[in-house]
């Protein structure tokens, strides 16, 4: 079946270091979304990418969608303690009645 | 305030009992979803519904049941047939775009943490 894998599963960084999480799908996606889940909280939508090769920025966060629409990345520049949480990608499948396929998530810990 | 509300926040169940988790939304969304999250794992889809009185099984529907009698409500029943029900359960909703599901932002509730004792 369709799967979306994320790496790494965990990442510990010193505050101020950069962080990147990668998302890979076994199938072509119509779009990719990114969510952040704070410890003990629920996932909150960050962004959606739709076009092949698309790059979007939100302050220190940079999101990319691969040319083949099978992979994506989230890069955080100069991490802060407020960036702590688990970052999930979610792929949408074109057409039909399918739903979001969530990645396995990357848990980020930022050490002050 | 518009949003999606899950209750209760914590739930304890004895083995062999059925329990029902509540999910209500006032966002006027057509689509609703139930996910299960286990420690260190991603979100696994249990059931989803695009419209009232209709729902489909997700990837791990065994041992669960749902109903969608009202647009605003999508309760999940964890039955005694679910062998390992201890988990964090998340309900979500979204609009349905012209190209189907998965193309618009999903809004999540605060979650229900279910523990079997």
pLDDT tens track for B13-64: 998 899 999 999 999 999 999 999 998 778 999 999 989 999 999 989 999 9
B105-116 residue pLDDT tens? 899 999 999 999
Flag whether residue B41 sits within 8 Å of chain A, measured between CB atoms.
Answer: yes
- Indicate the average pLDDT of chain A: 92
Chain B residues near residue A1 by CB distance under 8 angstroms: 59
CA angle A52/A53/A54 to nearest 5° reads 95
Q: Which of A24 and B98 is assigned the larger pLDDT?
A: A24
Flag whether residue A102 sits within 8 Å of chain B, measured between CB atoms.
Answer: yes
- Give the H or E element holding residue A7: strand A4-7
| Distance (Å, whole) CA A101 – CA A7 | 16
Place A3 in a pLDDT band, splitting at 50, 70 and 90. Answer: confident
Place A97 in a pLDDT band, splitting at 50, 70 and 90. Answer: low
Q: Is 60 exceeded by the pLDDT of residue A96?
A: no
User: Is there a contact between A33 and A92 (Cβ–Cβ < 8 Å)?
Assistant: yes
Sign of CA dihedral B83, B86, B91, B97: negative
């Amino acid at each position: 079946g369709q799967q979306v894998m994320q790496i790494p599963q965990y990442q510990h960084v010193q505050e101020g270091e950069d962080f990147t999480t990668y998302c890979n799908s076994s199938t072509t996606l119509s779009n990719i979304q990114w969510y952040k889940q704070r410890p003990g909280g629920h996932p909150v939508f960050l962004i959606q990418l739709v076009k092949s090769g698309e790059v979007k920025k939100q302050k220190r966060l940079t999101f990319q969608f691969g040319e083949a629409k099978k992979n994506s990345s989230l890069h955080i520049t100069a991490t802060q303690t407020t960036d702590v949480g688990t970052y999930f990608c979610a792929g949408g499948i074109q057409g039909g009645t399918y739903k979001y396929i969530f990645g396995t998530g990357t848990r980020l810990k930022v050490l002050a | 305030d518009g949003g999606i509300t899950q209750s209760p926040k914590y739930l304890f169940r004895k083995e062999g009992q059925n329990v029902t988790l509540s999910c209500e939304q006032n966002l006027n969304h057509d689509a609703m979803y139930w996910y299960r999250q286990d420690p260190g794992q991603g979100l696994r889809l249990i059931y989803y519904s695009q419209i009232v009185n209709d729902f489909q099984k997700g990837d791990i529907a065994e041992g669960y049941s749902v109903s969608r009698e009202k647009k605003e409500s999508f309760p999940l029943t964890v039955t005694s047939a679910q062998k390992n029900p201890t988990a964090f359960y998340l309900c979500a909703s979204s609009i349905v775009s012209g190209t189907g599901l998965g193309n618009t932002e999903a809004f999540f509730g605060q979650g229900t943490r279910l523990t079997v004792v």
